[in-house]
């Protein structure tokens, strides 16, 4: 590492981590799994004098459901997520996103909190959590803020996280009947590759197969993972059938061409986005069928 870290603290609980953040402010960086931060430090992109290691805090590693609200602790690793019973059935798209990340060694260390706070355009947990309309709970010594994840991520590797704040947990409503979530990712030929394109689709429909609500989020289709608001507006209130899906695919192609104009990935992604969308959509619809049968 180019510049020497002066102090590394191992925080055993959230309160200790928050006190340390309050004391050291912008001098300090949170270290969770270290799979992004250590690389950035080795490359000399960041050189924090103080590291606050939160990887052994138990309270932030919990994954639980209470009154239909799921709370996903920020230090839960991808292995924790992949194996958790809550993500084995209706929300299996979240386990699928976790399973698609890196290698088993990376998944054992890397955390969901690190993925969100690092906010890479290709961060794989962002699309499914954006599609679930998740909220992030940010804690500092003096206050707690709860923000929509869609507002928390503001650009490429940019978030609204303050220097004295810790992402404590992510919160979202579990699915009920007539709702489904799907996730699809392209670009995993090399198991260690970062996603080249990913998409998550949340759907709610009524008994006549009308689209009551939809949330679509893409990864690596611009500067940051994002909700596809125009497509969502277009789908809402319409009958879910193949002609609608074809129209949506065309819309996605058009917006990809605009968004990636001038980039050499545009020609590939304008077509790829349609297949990735269709896969995520089919998975969301399958989720609904599975529930009907169970």
Ligand X SMILES: Cc1cc2nc3c(=O)[nH]c(=O)nc-3n(C[C@H](O)[C@H](O)[C@H](O)COP(=O)(O)OP(=O)(O)OC[C@H]3O[C@@H](n4cnc5c(N)ncnc54)[C@H](O)[C@@H]3O)c2cc1C
Distance of closest approach, residue 181 Cβ to ligand X, in angstroms: 18
Distance of closest approach, residue 266 Cβ to ligand X, in angstroms: 22
Q: Which is nearer to ligand X, 80 or 232 (CB)?
A: 80
Read off the tokens for 17.
């981590």
Question: In the complex, which residue's CB is closest to ligand X?
Answer: 114
Q: Which is nearer to ligand X, 70 or 72 (CB)?
A: 72
Q: Which residues contact 50 (CB under 8 A, 6 or more apart)?
A: 5, 6, 7, 8, 9, 20, 24, 27, 28, 29
Binding mask 135-164 for ligand X (x = CB under 6 A): --------------------------x---
Query: Quick one: which of 12, 16, 34, 222 contacts ligand X (CB under 6 A)?
Result: 34
Which contacts of 205-212 are long-range, i.e. CB under 8 A and separated by 24 or more positions? Answer: 205/178, 205/240, 205/288, 206/178, 207/178, 208/239, 209/239, 209/240, 209/241, 210/237, 210/238, 210/239, 210/240, 211/235, 211/236, 211/237, 211/238, 211/239, 211/240, 211/244, 212/178, 212/236, 212/237
Q: Which is nearer to ligand X, 34 or 49 (CB)?
A: 34
Q: Which is nearer to ligand X, 154 or 213 (CB)?
A: 154
Residue located via tokens 């009154």: 67
Check: CB of residue 237 under 8 Å from CB of residue 211.
Answer: yes
Does the protein bind ligand X through residue 118 (CB under 6 A)? yes
Distance of closest approach, residue 269 Cβ to ligand X, in angstroms: 17
A 10 A CB-CB count for 250 gives 11
Query: Quick one: which of 81, 96, 114, 134 contacts ligand X (CB under 6 A)?
Result: 114
Q: Which is nearer to ligand X, 33 or 182 (CB)?
A: 33
Tell me how far apart the alpha carbons of residues 167 and 2 are, in angstroms, rounded to a whole number.
27
Does the protein bind ligand X through residue 106 (CB under 6 A)? yes
Q: Which is nearer to ligand X, 171 or 291 (CB)?
A: 171
Give the distance, in angstroms, between the CA of residue 97 and the centroid of all CA atoms in the same chain: 9
Check: CB of residue 119 under 8 Å from CB of residue 126.
Answer: yes
Q: Which is nearer to ligand X, 129 or 167 (CB)?
A: 167
Tell me how far apart the alpha carbons of residues 294 and 219 are, in angstroms, rounded to a whole number.
32
Distance of closest approach, residue 33 Cβ to ligand X, in angstroms: 3
Residues in a beta bridge with 170 = 72, 136
Distance of closest approach, residue 130 Cβ to ligand X, in angstroms: 13
Tell me how far apart the alpha carbons of residues 155 and 175 are, in angstroms, rounded to a whole number.
28
Of 27-35, 79-87, 129-137, 202-210, the window that binds ligand X (rule: CB under 6 A) is 27-35
Does the protein bind ligand X through residue 187 (CB under 6 A)? no
Query: Quick one: which of 70, 117, 129, 240 contacts ligand X (CB under 6 A)?
Result: 117
Tell me how far apart the alpha carbons of residues 176 and 221 are, in angstroms, rounded to a whole number.
29
| Residues forming the site for ligand X (CB under 6 A) | 29-37, 39, 74, 101-102, 106, 109-111, 113-115, 117-118, 122-124, 161, 166-167, 192, 194-195
């Amino acid at each position: 590492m180019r510049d020497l870290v002066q102090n590394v603290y191992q925080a055993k609980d959230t309160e200790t981590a928050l006190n340390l953040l309050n004391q050291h402010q912008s001098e300090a960086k949170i270290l969770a799994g270290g799979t992004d931060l250590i690389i950035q430090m080795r490359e000399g992109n960041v050189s924090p004098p103080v590291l606050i290691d939160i990887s052994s805090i138990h309270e932030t590693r919990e994954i639980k459901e209470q009154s239909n609200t799921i709370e996903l602790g920020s230090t839960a690793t991808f292995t924790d997520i992949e194996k958790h019973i809550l993500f084995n059935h209706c929300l299996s798209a979240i386990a699928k996103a976790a399973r698609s990340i890196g290698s088993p060694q990376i998944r054992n260390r890397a955390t969901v909190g690190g993925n969100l706070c690092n906010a890479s355009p290709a961060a794989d947990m962002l699309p499914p959590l954006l599609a679930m309309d998740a909220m992030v709970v940010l804690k500092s010594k003096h206050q707690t803020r709860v923000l929509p994840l869609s507002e928390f991520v503001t650009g490429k590797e940019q978030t609204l996280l303050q220097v004295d704040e810790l992402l404590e947990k992510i919160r979202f409503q579990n699915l009920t009947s007539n709702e489904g979530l799907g996730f699809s990712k392209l670009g995993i030929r090399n198991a260690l590759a970062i996603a080249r394109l990913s998409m998550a689709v949340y759907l709610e429909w009524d008994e006549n197969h009308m689209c009551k609500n939809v949330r679509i989020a893409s990864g690596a289709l611009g500067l940051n993972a994002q909700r596809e608001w125009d497509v969502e507006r277009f789908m809402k209130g319409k009958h879910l059938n193949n002609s609608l899906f074809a129209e949506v695919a065309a819309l996605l192609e058009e917006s990809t061409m605009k968004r990636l104009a001038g980039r050499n990935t545009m020609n590939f992604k304008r077509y790829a986005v349609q297949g990735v969308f269709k896969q995520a959509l089919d998975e969301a619809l399958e989720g609904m069928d599975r529930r009907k049968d169970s």
